[in-house]
Each structure stands twice: as structure tokens, then as C-alpha cells.
Amino acid sequence: MLKVPAAPRPPLAVRRTPDTPKLRSMARPPARVEREPALQCSDEPDTPRPPRESVRQAAAPQRVSGVAARLVAAAIDHCLLLAVDLTVIYFTLRLSALPLSEWQALSPVPLLAFLLLVKVSYFCAFTAVGGQTIGKMAAHIQVVTETGAPVDGARAMRRAIVGVASALMLGVGFVPALVGTERRALHDRFARTRVIALRSV
């Protein structure tokens, strides 16, 4: 029997590539597992917390200071300022080589202006830092704004200047602090401040 030889295969260079190449299957990346939000055990709605100051004010309502406490604080402050005045006059006489008996020889205008500046700086600085002068610390009272916030520097300056003006008017501006229910003097109303009692004295 005669066998017909099989047709030879074409060389590799002559082979035709298929018109549509086979797509390779790629593994899919694993799906991200989203974490469930943490469960809230409380039944209350998720509302923002109020600031600590408002919580503190709501927990402990502020009481208006009494007349006795304000008088005690004013007496202590003015005794301290009087001691400062005497110290300034004493050292001024020593620097001028004058005896104590000739204190009237000092020029009154610059001396009074300097002593007035010391008083305004005293009340302004202590009120702006903590709302309390040394007398108010001893009487356990504090100066705050109408909303109960700490007093800033500008408000403390206005309060001190109007307080000096009330003193120059023979103390007329201090009368509302003695008779009103709010106990707010003229300088408190002008600066929008009030004096509260930290504890009963």
C-alpha cells in the first residue's frame, strides 16, 4: 500500500495570528469590607456638647454680690492705693532732698496725674487678668461681663476710667450699686459688666 505523504506545515514566520486574540482572565481584587459604625448604647440623639463655661453657668447660677462685700473690697483696695501714694510721695521728697515737712513744695499737677495713673492701672490690670483686685479677692467677689464671661482689657479700661469719673463726681456714679437689685454702678453699666459673689461671706 502506498502512503500519501502529509502536507508539510508552514514555517513559523508564515503562520497567521488569529483575528481576535484570546482574553486572559485576571483575578479580581478582593472587595473592601466596610466597617459598620459603632453602635451607640445611649438613646439620646447625637448633638454637640455645649462648652464648659455654659455647663458651669447652668450648674451654678451666678449671684449678685452684696453691698457689704463691695464696701469691704473697696476699703481694702483704697487702703493699698493710699499706701502706694504715701510711698511715692516719700521717695519723691528724698530724691528732691526735701524734708517731710515741706511736702507742699512738690508740684501738685504732675504728682496727682502720676498717682491717678497708678490707680487706673491698678484697677484695669487686675480686672483684665482675673476679674478681681486684691480687695475683691479678699471679699470673694469677681467682675464678669453681662453674659458671665471674663472681662477683656478694653472693657476693663473703660470700667476703670468711668469709675474714676464717678469718684470725681463725689461718688454719684456708685449709688446704683447700693440701692438697685442688680447692684450695678455707673461704670458697670457703661462697660456692660457686673459683680458676682463667688461664695457667701
Residue 10, domain member (yes or no) = no
Residue 27, domain member (yes or no) = no
What residue spans of the chain are helical by DSSP H? 52-59, 67-95, 108-130, 134-139, 153-168, 176-179, 186-191
Residue 160, domain member (yes or no) = yes
Residue pLDDT, tens place only, 107-149: 889 999 999 999 999 999 999 999 999 999 999 999 999 998 9
Residue 116, domain member (yes or no) = yes
Mean pLDDT of the chain: 80
Residue 53, domain member (yes or no) = no
**Which position has the higher pLDDT, 85 or 53?**
85
Asked whether residue 150 carries a pLDDT value surpassing 90, the answer given is yes
**Which position has the higher pLDDT, 33 or 140?**
140
Overall number of domains in the chain: 1
Q: What does the pLDDT read at residue 35?
A: 60
Asked whether residue 195 carries a pLDDT value surpassing 90, the answer given is yes
Distance CA 159, CA 186 (A): 9
Q: What does the pLDDT read at residue 41?
A: 54
Asked whether residue 104 carries a pLDDT value surpassing 50, the answer given is yes
Residue 76, domain member (yes or no) = yes
- Is residue 196 within 8 Å of residue 142, measured between CB atoms? yes
Residue pLDDT, tens place only, 45-68: 555 665 554 444 444 567 888 889
Asked whether residue 196 carries a pLDDT value surpassing 80, the answer given is yes
Residue 87, domain member (yes or no) = yes
- Is residue 114 within 8 Å of residue 54, measured between CB atoms? no
Residue pLDDT, tens place only, 151-171: 999 999 999 999 999 988 888
Residue range(s) defining the domain that contains residue 145: 62-197
Residue 28, domain member (yes or no) = no
